A and B are shown apart, each in its own frame.
Chain A
Amino acid sequence: MPRGDVTALGHTARMVLVANGRDDVLALLRHGSGPRPRFDPGLAGGLRAWLEDAACAVVTARGEDAPALFLGPRRFFGAPASADVDADAEPFPPPLVTACLVHALFRQIVTTGAVGDPLRDGVDALSVEPSRAELVRHIGSLPEAEREALSASLAVQVQHLIDLTPRFAPGWLPRTHDRLAIPLAGGRVVLCGVFDLLVGAPVAGTSSLCAVGVTSGGPWARARRVLHYVALLETLRSGHPPFRLALLHAAAGRCRVEDVWEEHLGAVVSHLVQRLSEMAGAHV
């Protein structure tokens, strides 16, 4: 059993487990090798129907010919740490730069288990994505003092991630940056999200996956809700949510693990419906 403390958090009084190292995280994610939980087969359909109604209201308000509306966590839960930064004035606020590098380095840790020079490796990893070219140029143009501060921050966060990220056996099928895009209202509203890490083999009719999220800053509660949101998208994609979620806070070096419950998914859907209704109202 993991050494971590067991803490009850949140209004649902479900257990959130605190993991103190990568062995704890692995043990909590493994959760024994017994049968995985089964969810109501009608759950995904019910959640989708609820969302479809709200999405159709948005389409009605925007007009049938409006281009597809792609909505991600930022639209539903606000921006993370950089929320108070004017994007026009500063297209790459420091928290965003750090977050992008930390996520790139997390992928490297999962893939290879090691990081050399964090800043150099992070920039190298981002450089193979043309969509990150501007960010890479920005990092390259930082004054020496800012680069040193960034490098020092990354070194701390990377060490935390190395300490907390399990070494998954190949059979766990670890895959990073797994994108989800769930169309509603005939594709005119698309809910988007990304799993930082997904492990486990899909098994028909069973919740067999675990998801790991990484946050490099910002409110813990927001990061947790975003992880619940992506779990909802997985439910809509495959019919089943991941059965367990881990959230790694790279800056603080802590990790909490929790089961996914129908209440989590229902709470997220309720929030999305509320936000979609507000969007629809804003167009009327």
Chain B
Amino acid sequence: MSEDVAPGGLTDTLLAPVAVVDAAAWHDAMAGIPEALAGVAGRHPGGGPCRLTDFHIRRALNPPDGGAGVAPFAWSARTSRRALGLAAVRLLVAGQVRSPAQGVRAAVAQGTSWVRHQGRPLSGMDRWLGELPPAARAAVGADAVTWATRLWGAVDWTSFERAPLIGRDHWWDSPHSSLLALRGRADVRAGAVHLVTLSGSRRASVRTELSVVALVEALRSRDGIMPGRVVGWWPDSGHLVRVEVEPAVLKKGVEAVEAALRWGHVRAAA
């Protein structure tokens, strides 16, 4: 695992060859993890089903001072910018729009059009956007444009042999317990390499947080393909954190999940 401050190196970091991990050591490391996680989930303090996301992992590893509770989720410019920004970058990479601003406008228009025409099941964000007055929607769009432009400008999208997946979060549903599901959030997936855009201050727990992304990939793999690298990137500072996936990373990921389950504020599945 390493860290550097070379913002121009983001594409290079994504494309760098992935270290080969000994298959037997990997197999040994994976053995028993799904069962162990299911067992922990069955004993977690809140009881009932739990769907762990990066938010829960982060909060468990960095508990708020004074044991403050978790504010209920609400849509805002901050909570919607990633979804809208990713939609914009997806359109840009596909060549369907020419700028992040056009991409965000298209994403907002699509969502609010669905609201107007009731053409398909609405997401909570689409409904929220559809009810906003124009100035509020413009503010939401402005935030998303900035988010998208930073990602769009930081990566050389022509460098990939195969088009990367943009903004597809992966869930792992435990086969041993209907109580447990884990989400691995990544903004760009290029083969075995996963880019996670980070916000907030740099924190000691970040490598552990990224280990959970690797763990989810490992648990989801049906053909034994190992995740290669998880890259964390702070647009605010240009810093990168690289996690080269190896057996020790899986162990760290499992410990993080256990910590989140112990934390006990995991919301039941909606």
Assess A108 versus B142: contact at CB under 8 Å? Given A130-B76, A187-B201, A238-B7: yes
**How many chain A residues have a CB neighbour from B under 8 Å?**
42
Task: Give which listed residue, A130, A171, A173, A181, contacts B74 with CB less than 8 A.
Answer: A130
A window 149-176: CB within 8 A of B: 170-171, 173-176
Bound: A239/B203 CA distance, A: 23
Q: Are A176 and B146 in contact (CB under 8 A)?
A: yes
Bound: A257/B235 CA distance, A: 26
| Chain A residues touching B, majority SS | mixed
Which of the candidate stretches A16-24, A55-63, A115-123, A215-223 sits at the interface with the other chain?
Answer: A115-123
Quick one: CB contact mask for B75-114 with A, threshold 8 Å, 1 for yes?
0111000000000000000000011111000000000000
B36, CB-defined interface residue at 8 Å: no
Q: Count A/B pairs, Cβ under 8 Å.
A: 108
Bound: A238/B5 CA distance, A: 9
Residues of A within 8 A of B152 (CB): 173
Which of the candidate stretches B116-124, B128-136, B248-256 sits at the interface with the other chain?
Answer: B128-136
Quick one: CB contact mask for B183-226 with A, threshold 8 Å, 1 for yes?
00000000000000000011100000000000000000000000
Which residue of chain B has the shortest Cβ distance to A181 in the bound complex? B236
Task: Give which listed residue, A129, A204, A239, contacts B76 with CB less than 8 A.
Answer: A129
Quick one: CB contact mask for A91-129 with B, threshold 8 Å, 1 for yes?
000000000000010011011100110001110111111
Bound: A183/B201 CA distance, A: 9
Bound: A111/B104 CA distance, A: 11
Which residue of chain B has the shortest Cβ distance to A67 in the bound complex? B65
Residues of A within 8 A of B141 (CB): 111
**How many chain B residues have a CB neighbour from A under 8 Å?**
37
Inter-chain pairs besides A110-B142, A116-B134, A202-B153, 19 sampled, C-beta below 8 Å: A107-B138, A111-B138, A124-B133, A125-B136, A125-B138, A128-B139, A128-B140, A130-B76, A171-B98, A180-B236, A181-B236, A182-B237, A183-B202, A190-B201, A201-B153, A204-B8, A237-B236, A238-B7, A238-B238
Q: What are 11 A-B contacts with C-beta separation under 8 Å? A: A115-B135, A116-B134, A120-B135, A128-B136, A128-B139, A130-B74, A174-B101, A177-B142, A181-B234, A187-B202, A239-B7
Residues of B within 8 A of A (CB): 7-8, 74, 76-78, 98-102, 132-136, 138-143, 145-146, 149-150, 152-154, 201-203, 234, 236-239
